[in-house]
Amino acid sequence: DAGVIQSPRHEVTEMGQEVTLRCKPISGHNSLFWYRQTMMRGLELLIYFNNNVPIDDSGMPEDRFSAKMPNASFSTLKIQPSEPRDSAVYFCASRPGTGVEQYFGPGTRLTVT
């Protein structure tokens, strides 16, 4: 199994630009999670989907952030416009319907200058 796939692995962009992060969950998993990790705030849940439907987006920082899951094999997290304080590692994780273990992707390291 390929595991959770995220792209890009690294992204450097200028303040004000749009950033799109992508995630392909493990085939057959029906829950998908987007996290952000920084030294200051630790690992924070931004949003999670169950069967492609957003269940809890209370962790999304503000309207500049949006996430979609158009089908079971693809999700995006978009930041528009980006700000330096958005610099972090963004992880995507997926979970099978009958399990509790979350499988994390390798993460996208975002730097906004």
Q: Look at residues 14, 16, 20 and name the one whose alpha carbon lies nearest to residue 81.
A: 16
> In 10 A of CB 101, how many CB atoms?
8
d(Cα 100, Cα 13) in Å, to the nearest integer? 35
CB of 80 to another protein, least distance (A): 25
Least separation in angstroms between CB 15 and another protein: 25
Closest separation in Å from C-beta 93 to another protein: 8
10 vs 85, beta carbon nearer another protein = 10
Q: Which is nearer to another protein, 25 or 105 (CB)?
A: 105
State which residue, 73 or 89, has the beta carbon closest to another protein: 89
Which positions touch another protein (CB under 8 A)? 31, 42-45, 48, 50, 55-56, 91, 95, 100-102, 104-107
Q: Evaluate whether 46 touches 62 at the Cβ level (below 8 Å).
A: no
Complex with another protein: residue 42 or 70, whichever CB lies closer: 42
> Least distance to another protein from the beta carbon of 16, Å?
28
Contact between 93 and 35 (Cβ < 8 Å) = yes
How far is Cα 60 from Cα 64, in angstroms, rounded to an integer?
A: 9
